[in-house]
Amino acid sequence: MNKKKESVSTTRNIVKELSDLPTHLYRYSGISGERLDWIRKVILESELYFPSPAKFNDPFDCKIPVNYRATNLRARSYWTKVGKRENPGISPQELTKAVKKLVHDSRTTEGKKEINKSLFQSLDENGIASFTKAPTNMLMWSYYAEGHSGIALRFNMSLENLVRIPNKTIPIQVNYSHEFPNLNFYQVDDDWNHFIATEIGTKSIEWEHEEEWRLISVNRTGYHQIPSEMLDGIILGKQISKENERLIREWAKEKGSDIEILKVTHEEHSFDLKLIPLG
């Protein structure tokens, strides 16, 4: 399993319906510590951070267990193919011996752990930037924007913007479930794109309120340049300080492109939040 997998070849291979992609997606953030530098890079330098799934705090995020159910014939056929691919020129005797060991290991607890480790290392090479389609989510303003004192960045998700990101970048809508999806290890090679989409795009039902979409940077993590006009709006939290509001406005003005500034407030006599444009 050492061979580096090639992920998705086109956007349409992995998005069920490209028309489902919202015109805008949002990213909540606080304005303190490392978050402040992250915001500055996005606004002034048009650089967006794509972390590895290895840094995620949900232990099942991009780490959904696979099963190893297969007949002996299927298992031998698979490991024979892997053996030939990763050890060109191997003798028939050595290949038979190696395949026997691999089939055995894939049926033991320790063997499965080692195979899983290699499999998930391949996933961890893809950068993932997370967004939501919900800019007025009370819980997300509370959790991700430092108790409504931060901001939410608005990104224009037109296909024109996505294809201008230098590295191959794929949007995926997250699905939420009570149960793990059925992922069979011996089918991963047959449909790697499906495996990627399912592993990266499935989370516990407990996260459903986040209405998450993800941008997947294929085989690359870290900061990526994005089109300057992709960031076209900044929403100020209801409790943002005057100092931070002034700073964000200065950065938006310095950028020199059209960025709409909005602020969160609430509906009269209601807990529901709404957005108001500011001058």
The pLDDT of 76-86, averaged and rounded, is 89
- Residues 176/207, Cβ–Cβ less than 8 Å: yes
The pLDDT value recorded for residue 207 is: 95
Where is 231: in which H helix or E strand?
strand 231-236
Contacts of 25 (CB under 8 A, 6+ apart): 131, 132, 133, 154, 155, 157, 213
Counting runs of H as helices and runs of E as strands, what totals does the chain give?
9, 12
The pLDDT value recorded for residue 122 is: 87
pLDDT more than 70, % of the chain: 93
Q: Show the 3-state SS of 24-71.
A: EEEEEECCCCHHHHHHHHHHHHCEEEECCHHHCCCCCCCCCCCECCCC
The pLDDT value recorded for residue 117 is: 87
pLDDT more than 90, % of the chain: 67
Each domain of the chain, given as residue ranges in start order, spans: 11-55+127-277, 72-122
The pLDDT value recorded for residue 238 is: 95
pLDDT in tens, 201-236: 999 999 999 999 999 999 999 999 999 999 999 999
CB atoms within 10 A of CB 158: 15
The pLDDT value recorded for residue 18 is: 60
The pLDDT of 171-182, averaged and rounded, is 94
pTM of the shown model: 0.85
The pLDDT value recorded for residue 19 is: 65
* Residue 53 confidence (pLDDT) above 90: yes
pLDDT in tens, 238-273: 999 999 999 999 999 999 878 999 999 988 888 999
